[in-house]
């Protein structure tokens, strides 16, 4: 039994464009290509796509997924691994829900909050493997030490600052401001200063990070929720800022 690319995309909740992209990256080859040029996928491809989507949900980049798939030839063993990871994630999400519920109840009753209760389940190490692969173990460990040194208020202030920068990029995108305009370049400067808290951003680092905001849907959505095209503006603005200043 086989399915067309449109059928698979619909059933998987994704798009034909995404499936073709996976094919171009060597992650998901079609079982066959018809004389009409349509791509078709069999059961084996279906299982492979499930593994790809599971790994994406766990936060892995496409290069990392390629390595995982290449190293796990036993489908049953791979699925058992995925299942264990998903169960861990379910447990973490349960802790997050309990944390938010505790915060809500205590806030409504005017009771004092404990930092451990507020942030239980929020795991900043989710991207440990990806950061290590992209920028090295030292970069991850430096950022990890810095994050753990903050108290709850400092962590919240740090995240709020980034949220403000993202909103300002969104407003600039909606206003049609150019990436090299003074206003947008000032926002890019704030972004680089924010990054400097955890690393020493080089020209290559900042340019690469900006590209990732567009190339990786997980990050694109965080910017484009402030307005379509925001991620592209961030990428271009950071590249210009890095070329001029780093």
Q: What is the pLDDT of residue 113?
A: 46
Domain around 201: 136-245
**Residue 202 belongs to a domain with what CATH number?**
1.10.490.50
Q: What is the pLDDT of residue 54?
A: 79
Give residue-wise pLDDT tens across range 177-186. Answer: 999 999 999 9
Q: Which of 39, 17, 43 is nearest to 29 (CA)?
A: 39
Residue with tokens 């059933």: 11
Q: What is the pLDDT of residue 226?
A: 83
Could you give the number of structural domains in the chain?
A: 2
Average pLDDT over residues 41-64: 81
Question: Within a domain: residue 96?
Answer: no
**Residue 12 belongs to a domain with what CATH number?**
1.10.1660.10
Average pLDDT over residues 21-26: 90
Last residue of a domain, one of 56, 81, 100: 56
**Contacts of 17-20 spanning 24+ positions with Cβ under 8 A:** 19/49
């Amino acid at each position: 039994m086989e399915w067309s690319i449109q059928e698979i995309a619909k059933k998987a909740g994704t798009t034909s464009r995404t499936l073709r992209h996976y094919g171009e990256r060597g992650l998901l080859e079609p079982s066959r290509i018809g004389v009409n040029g349509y791509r078709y996928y069999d059961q084996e491809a279906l299982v492979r796509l499930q593994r790809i989507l599971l790994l994406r949900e766990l936060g892995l980049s496409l290069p990392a997924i390629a390595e995982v798939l290449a190293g796990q030839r036993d489908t049953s063993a791979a699925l058992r691994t995925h299942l264990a990871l998903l169960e861990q994630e379910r447990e973490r999400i349960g802790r997050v829900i309990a944390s938010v519920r505790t915060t809500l109840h205590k806030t409504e009753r005017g009771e004092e909050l404990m930092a451990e209760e507020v942030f239980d389940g929020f795991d900043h190490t989710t991207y440990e493997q990806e950061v290590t692969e992209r920028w090295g173990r030292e970069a991850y460990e430096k950022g990890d030490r810095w994050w753990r040194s903050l108290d709850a208020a400092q962590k919240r202030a740090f995240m709020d600052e980034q949220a403000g920068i993202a909103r300002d990029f969104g407003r600039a995108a909606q206003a049609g401001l150019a990436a090299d305009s003074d206003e947008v370049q000032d926002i890019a400067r704030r972004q680089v200063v924010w990054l400097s808290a955890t690393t020493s951003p080089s020209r290559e680092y900042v340019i690469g990070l900006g590209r990732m905001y567009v190339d990786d849907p997980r990050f694109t959505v965080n910017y484009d929720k402030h307005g379509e095209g925001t991620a592209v503006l961030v990428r271009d603005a950071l590249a210009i800022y890095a070329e001029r200043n780093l």
